[in-house]
Chain A
């Protein structure tokens, strides 16, 4: 093998690259906050450096050189900052964020197999400039003077701690936290019992914070068969017995780490700020793996095949029963299989759920960028709790969330001067909250404390009556083509109005959108969304001037309908509808030596049919029998969101649900198999 097969690693590369990009953004945002408030956050620089370093190496392997170039420059800045030779500034964070955006742009070009744009010169220059000019204004230095002698700890260990680690230990102890040294000796027996350095570290980090793990060489003996001991330095308020059992040792092996007197009295108060670390943005993803969506879809497909097999099994059981065979045990087993299949389906569906918190990860970035471009001060608070959504819903609803948040910054939140004049805090607040409303629904709220919606002004501009209630206001602002400001700003208010939000939430996802607004006080939009939706690969087609959709899976074949293949059947069926314009299976289709019933779909649906000479037909199988349905023309193949028809009054056999093909109008999704049985029953009559 002379060349690595890059395609084989593309998916893996993209998944890891995405993880590093996300982690880098979170770290940069946290870092920026830390720089403004002046509390040192060395860990974030370290993590950032690692992310970029890994991105660089991986990108080099798959041959995405522009990313290598960008990451290399960024990495250099961070390495210098990490070593303390230069200091990171707020301005530097800005350029680094730009770098991350540039990297992301290129990974997505790579994903779509497009040409990857070279690294932008202005970015590389800006990054290079940072490498020489760092060290001004607000800086992120580790406060000097971490005094090694004031920590009561083995000299061998002390020598191996970096200044930030030392400082973290000392500050935490000074603030009253408990610090421990826990020794873990790896051995084959401990490993067999589930105690390896990785599992011990994982367990300990659940009940405390690991400052450092130091490997130390020791003489080989029964307790240390590998000649190795790991000294874990841990901050934890858990009782010693719990720490010991997490690390597979006994409490007597724990050594408390203390500060010598002098240090306690000097710095305690000053260092207390460590406790309020804004670390929420950066969390470890322990026990989480990321899977390509196509693999889950594949699993669902396999499951669907299994469901068919189960039906075959049930048929066999019925046949046997009809023949008088005792099938009680078989029936029980078949029932079990049915239940297990249902559970399996649920389990797979669950694994497609993504956390809403993760979905909203990018919103702070958007708000941040917008408050810069508008000059408004905005604080964003996101509370998504543990809510989860089907990936398919999440992907579709995200643009609506972004739109609402952008609108809030752009139109709702006032400028700082205006807010002060109105007696409000200069900084506006946008809150995004989310919780599970029921087993099947999620509620998402986007609120602002801005100026509220001026319904009178909007109605005047739209030439409509002033609405009297909030429902009317919602209807007014979601009118297609309406923008809430006459001046188009750079981000919203151009083209895409609120109607898109309603279309996504209501028309596409079958959810609900409401609003509450108080002039001068703010606006809240509430979306209720289904936790999951069914996505179907479908053919869209026209029949009698109307558009319809059918699942691709049930269509055996699409054929051109030529008149010479169509035969009018002999007497009984034809007579039933003779002279009638509406023909059911009045015709048959000759195909590969077989004669199959041909239904005119337009007639079945009581629509005007097109010229039969230019028709196409779907071949569908029902109970093993082929049927043909004539249609006018096929529009295309696309993924659609099917919404079931819940109202029993409108529920019709042959109609599986409705969808939106993108034109905002509801389109019927037909169940041609169901329709074929309706039609053949009609033809027999």
Chain B
């Protein structure tokens, strides 16, 4: 199982992201409703990928990215930053700080799946299974 943390203060938004990934097998989802909660959970480890909203009530997504990249154990953690129209200018900053990908709302499920696959490629279950079935 690959563990995915979805960080957004909007519950519907979190549910929408999870719904987009329903078709991908082998994923387990956790949710965090604030930047602080996200940092806390990430610091204690165990996650394979993060979906991160930039605009949250306590600390924003940038600070979360900054913290994650400052931690030795989290340096390689894939982070997909999710933003809204009008924030394109923040793209550069997010990527500079160490975000792996950048997605703008509204997005289509296919795009979410594609981003996830491109970041986790061979670690995904169906991929592993494909290879297993190739073995004679």
Distance in Å: Cβ of B64 to nearest Cβ of chain A:
8
List residues of chain A with CB within 8 A of the CB of B84. 53, 56-57, 60
- Which stretch from A136-144, A220-228, A477-485 is at the chain B interface? A220-228
- A108 contacts partner chain B, Cβ-Cβ < 8 Å: no
Asked, given contacts A57-B84, A198-B36, A215-B67, whether A227 binds B109 with beta carbons under 8 Å apart, the answer is no
A63 to B9, CA, bound (A): 20
A201 to B59, CA, bound (A): 13
Distance in Å: Cβ of B133 to nearest Cβ of chain A:
24
CB interface residues, B 26-85, toward A, < 8 Å: 33-34, 36-37, 39-40, 42-45, 55-59, 63, 67, 70-73, 83-85
CB interface residues, A 1-26, toward B, < 8 Å: 1-5, 8-9, 12-13, 16
Chain B, residue nearest A54 (CB)? B10
A57 to B22, CA, bound (A): 21
Q: Which of B45, B55, B108 has the most CB of A within 10 A?
A: B55
B40 touches A16 (CB 8 A): no
List residues of chain B with CB within 8 A of the CB of A47. 57
Residues of A contacting B: mostly: helix
Distance in Å: Cβ of A186 to nearest Cβ of chain B:
4
What are the interface flags for B1-19 relative to A under an 8 Å C-beta threshold, 1 for contact and 0 otherwise? 0000000011111011001
B12 touches A228 (CB 8 A): no
A186 touches B43 (CB 8 A): yes
What are the interface flags for A194-207 relative to B under an 8 Å C-beta threshold, 1 for contact and 0 otherwise? 00111001000000
- A188 contacts partner chain B, Cβ-Cβ < 8 Å: yes
Distance in Å: Cβ of A677 to nearest Cβ of chain B:
51
CB interface residues, A 175-196, toward B, < 8 Å: 186-188, 191, 196
Distance in Å: Cβ of A75 to nearest Cβ of chain B:
7
In this complex, how many residues of chain B approach chain A with their Cβ under 8 Å: the count is 42
A196 touches B11 (CB 8 A): no
A58 to B109, CA, bound (A): 15
Distance in Å: Cβ of B73 to nearest Cβ of chain A:
7
Asked, given contacts A12-B12, A54-B9, A72-B85, whether A4 binds B108 with beta carbons under 8 Å apart, the answer is yes
Asked, given contacts A54-B9, A226-B45, A227-B71, whether A9 binds B15 with beta carbons under 8 Å apart, the answer is yes
List residues of chain A with CB within 8 A of the CB of B67. 215, 217, 228
Q: Which of A50, A61, A75 has the most CB of B within 10 A?
A: A61
B13 touches A61 (CB 8 A): yes
B106 touches A63 (CB 8 A): yes
A76 to B87, CA, bound (A): 11
A9 touches B12 (CB 8 A): yes
List residues of chain A with CB within 8 A of the CB of B86. 56, 72, 75-76
B13 touches A228 (CB 8 A): no
Asked, given contacts A50-B57, A56-B85, whether A5 binds B19 with beta carbons under 8 Å apart, the answer is yes
Which one of B11, B20, B45, B63 contacts A12 once the chains associate, using CB atoms below 8 Å? B11
Which one of A201, A217, A226 contacts B36 once the chains associate, using CB atoms below 8 Å? A201
Asked, given contacts A58-B12, A187-B44, A228-B43, whether A4 binds B85 with beta carbons under 8 Å apart, the answer is no
- B136 contacts partner chain A, Cβ-Cβ < 8 Å: no
A4 touches B73 (CB 8 A): no
Distance in Å: Cβ of A162 to nearest Cβ of chain B:
12
- A282 contacts partner chain B, Cβ-Cβ < 8 Å: no
A2 touches B36 (CB 8 A): no
In this complex, how many residues of chain A approach chain B with their Cβ under 8 Å: the count is 41
A226 touches B44 (CB 8 A): yes
What are the interface flags for A24-66 relative to B under an 8 Å C-beta threshold, 1 for contact and 0 otherwise? 0000000000000000000000010010011011101101000
CB interface residues, A 71-87, toward B, < 8 Å: 72, 75-76
List residues of chain B with CB within 8 A of the CB of A8. 19
Asked, given contacts A16-B10, A54-B55, whether A213 binds B36 with beta carbons under 8 Å apart, the answer is yes
A61 touches B109 (CB 8 A): no
List residues of chain A with CB within 8 A of the CB of B131. none
Distance in Å: Cβ of A480 to nearest Cβ of chain B:
46
B44 touches A225 (CB 8 A): yes
B9 touches A2 (CB 8 A): no
CB interface residues, A 657-679, toward B, < 8 Å: none
B36 touches A228 (CB 8 A): no
A214 to B40, CA, bound (A): 12
Distance in Å: Cβ of A317 to nearest Cβ of chain B:
46
Q: Which of B63, B86, B109 has the most CB of A within 10 A?
A: B86
Jot down 16 A-B pairs with beta carbons below 8 A, ordered by A: A1-B19, A1-B20, A2-B108, A4-B16, A16-B10, A53-B84, A61-B105, A186-B44, A196-B40, A198-B40, A213-B58, A217-B67, A226-B44, A227-B43, A227-B71, A228-B40
Interface residues of B (CB under 8 A from A): 9-13, 15-16, 19-20, 22-23, 33-34, 36-37, 39-40, 42-45, 55-59, 63, 67, 70-73, 83-86, 105-110
A-B pairs, top 3 by smallest CB distance, nearest first, are A226-B43, A228-B43, A12-B12
Interface residues of A (CB under 8 A from B): 1-5, 8-9, 12-13, 16, 47, 50, 53-54, 56-58, 60-61, 63, 68, 72, 75-76, 186-188, 191, 196-198, 201, 213-215, 217, 225-228, 230
